A and B are shown apart, each in its own frame.
Chain A
């Protein structure tokens, strides 16, 4: 604050002017400010505050898998501009992100890698599953190599259906996620049949016995039981 504005304090008319000083740029004098008057404090529960903060500044992981990620890029880009909703800071590292949008088909080779990326994100973290493939395997559900949905591997908060969902649909999904985070809701952690396990811990069935010579006991593995997945 400049010394000029200090001088004008004496002429202050309203409480707000008394606080801000007459020289303040009136861009700062919002209606909200006026309503708060001379005591600009908001009382709220810390949890509500944190939920509001979380929902309004989401760091999204730059994570592209398949066709859906093209529409995801459009969602970040001009015209749809996800940034407007307080959810548009794309981060290249999972360690700096709290939302992962999973846009595409998960196949057996990629499943463990996706789990590793998810595990590297700090808590609390949220997952948006984008497109039919991520929900259920989509058009490739019958394939010999396709995991029937991301939820087999990581818990998902919001499903956005479509093949691919339009950018508008993804914006809607993210906005819904923000709403839920604002309310303090999270997805129940679903049962994850395909946890990464150490090879030595797997049940010794025919397959495990067959591979036993090739694979180290301490190796992390994921087991895909196509029969038991939905």
Chain B
């Protein structure tokens, strides 16, 4: 249940019984709206670049759009454009986009950061990769590429063959002066980019005042693999699907693939047979279990620093899940199993053996989870380290666009599987797990309970698949050989990945490749909350908070 008092819906502008009344929203925005566009997912209002904040404040405060899920930036022949994708935590099917065009000669538009804190990083990324500048932005510098980088690679006239120079600077203490005054000395500490506790190549610039963390600045971009460019260079039908596996690579592959599948299917108007939907749902939940197991294992690793018991236990269970997924998809980690319009192939033969394997796993799971509770959550040391540390409250989580277990553990009752149903989820019986404390402990507990729910979903899917009539096992609908969505069709769609809302924006230009492919990664937004959780705490709590966010750098940097 959500912590907040339910909003009085009649007060909210634009809400009707069956969705949104965009004309009412347009009236609300008044003169700031220059024109309107229709995207496949929602209506969009085109807004003047110097009135962005007015429009966004109105939409947030009067119309209840409290979730800025994504900011897309792109360059056209004649203009730059930023798109703010707005949703409601209460009901993510109520969406609206705010489009802000600026000229190519002088690409400046007003920053949305005062309205949504999450826009801070998103706009830095837009500046870094596309080259739009944001007026009044608190800290407009590159975020993914090195400071000395020349040019903006997602722009139209970028020359990729030019040499680049990258520096290896030692870091200065960014707030040294602030603290000298009151007599206390601060110390600057680099954590990462090569450090076992950063879960990959993350660099956390930390300023310590004594034992306490005075300032944290996550520095990302050490794994920026140009995923968006790769997708823009691939054809819709087959060439993009392998890449999602490599965003959240903690075996969450199928969940990511689903994000692309859902977006592209909605864009091109493809159906998915019911049988394939059930298989998708089942395999995606296996991925969620595998991802949460790894999160649990590495969390224990970071909190007790043990590479032995808990870590090995979680990996033991992951091996079983990987085995099942390997039987299904033929690969251990990079499944590449979904296809537009369905899945790659049917369940492995003999089906009985496959189902038995799954049933064995599911039967053993409650016992294993008890084991984990003995080993981890009921452990006194663990509780001392995690209860009441790294607290994130619901309002802050929303401001930063946090989703997934991170938001749910702070009492934000938001899960796209239920709130914006896709696949077979709305036919099945399961619960969304939430907690109210918002501390490190709650986040871990949430993940462990989500594993139980995933197991419930899988069980129901297996029952369905077992009884599915043989001549009705259609795994793919009829998909044209070459997909060419309508010119200038735009869409933003999201699914519930292991870490939260994983969304994709695609603009088509009528060819068989997307003109713009933008990935909204949950980890990117979740990581942004780290300073809120860690400042004022001790260093070990910073490490625990970072671990409890469960970030994957492949997805943060893309």
A residues lining the B interface (CB < 8 Å): 62-67, 69-71, 73-74, 76-79, 90, 92, 94, 104-105, 107-114, 116-117, 139-140, 142-146, 163-164, 166, 196, 199, 202, 205, 207-208, 210-211, 214-215, 219-227
Indicate the size class of the contact surface on chain B. 35 or more
The distance in angstroms between the C-alpha atoms of A205 and B150, with both chains bound, is 14
Shortest B341–chain A CB gap in Å is: 23
Taking CB atoms and an 8 Å cut-off, the chain B residues in 109-153 that contact chain A are: 144-146, 148-150, 153
> Is B385 located at the chain interface by the 8 A CB criterion?
no
Q: Are A199 and B167 in contact (CB under 8 A)?
A: yes
Q: Are B223 and A104 in contact (CB under 8 A)?
A: yes
Residues of A within 8 A of B227 (CB): 140
Q: Are A224 and B200 in contact (CB under 8 A)?
A: no
- In the complex, the chain A residue whose C-beta lies closest to that of B554 is A66
Q: Are B165 and A199 in contact (CB under 8 A)?
A: yes
Q: What are 8 contact pairs spanning A and B, CB under 8 A? A: A64-B199, A66-B225, A67-B245, A105-B223, A110-B222, A142-B226, A164-B332, A223-B166
Q: Are B224 and A107 in contact (CB under 8 A)?
A: yes
Residues of B within 8 A of A63 (CB): 194
Residues of A within 8 A of B165 (CB): 199, 202, 207-208, 211, 215, 221-224
Q: Are B200 and A69 in contact (CB under 8 A)?
A: yes
**B153's contact among A73, A117, A144, by CB below 8 Å, is which?**
A144
The distance in angstroms between the C-alpha atoms of A71 and B311, with both chains bound, is 14
Q: Are A70 and B251 in contact (CB under 8 A)?
A: yes
Residues of A within 8 A of B169 (CB): 219
- In the complex, the chain B residue whose C-beta lies closest to that of A107 is B224
Residues of A within 8 A of B200 (CB): 64-66, 69
B residues lining the A interface (CB < 8 Å): 144-146, 148-150, 153, 158, 160-169, 193-196, 199-201, 221-227, 229-230, 233, 242-243, 245-246, 249-251, 294, 307, 311-312, 315-316, 318-319, 322, 332-334, 553-554
Shortest B492–chain A CB gap in Å is: 24
Q: Are B163 and A70 in contact (CB under 8 A)?
A: no
Residues of B within 8 A of A62 (CB): 196
Q: Are B249 and A66 in contact (CB under 8 A)?
A: yes
Closest 9 A/B residue pairs (Cβ)? A143-B226, A67-B249, A77-B315, A112-B168, A110-B222, A144-B153, A225-B163, A220-B168, A140-B225
Interface centre among A110, A140, A210, A223 (most CB of B within 10 A): A110
Residues of A within 8 A of B222 (CB): 107, 109-110, 113
Residues of A within 8 A of B250 (CB): 70
Q: Are A146 and B226 in contact (CB under 8 A)?
A: yes
* Apart from the given pairs A226-B162, A227-B163, 10 other A-B contacts in the complex at a CB distance below 8 Å: A66-B200, A66-B246, A108-B145, A113-B222, A143-B225, A144-B153, A215-B167, A223-B165, A224-B164, A226-B163
Residues of A within 8 A of B193 (CB): 110, 113
The distance in angstroms between the C-alpha atoms of A64 and B201, with both chains bound, is 7
Q: Are A108 and B166 in contact (CB under 8 A)?
A: yes
Residues of B within 8 A of A225 (CB): 163
- In the complex, the chain B residue whose C-beta lies closest to that of A133 is B225
The distance in angstroms between the C-alpha atoms of A208 and B167, with both chains bound, is 12
Residues of B within 8 A of A139 (CB): 230, 242-243, 246
The distance in angstroms between the C-alpha atoms of A211 and B221, with both chains bound, is 21
Q: Are B161 and A166 in contact (CB under 8 A)?
A: no
Shortest A70–chain B CB gap in Å is: 6
Q: Are A109 and B315 in contact (CB under 8 A)?
A: no
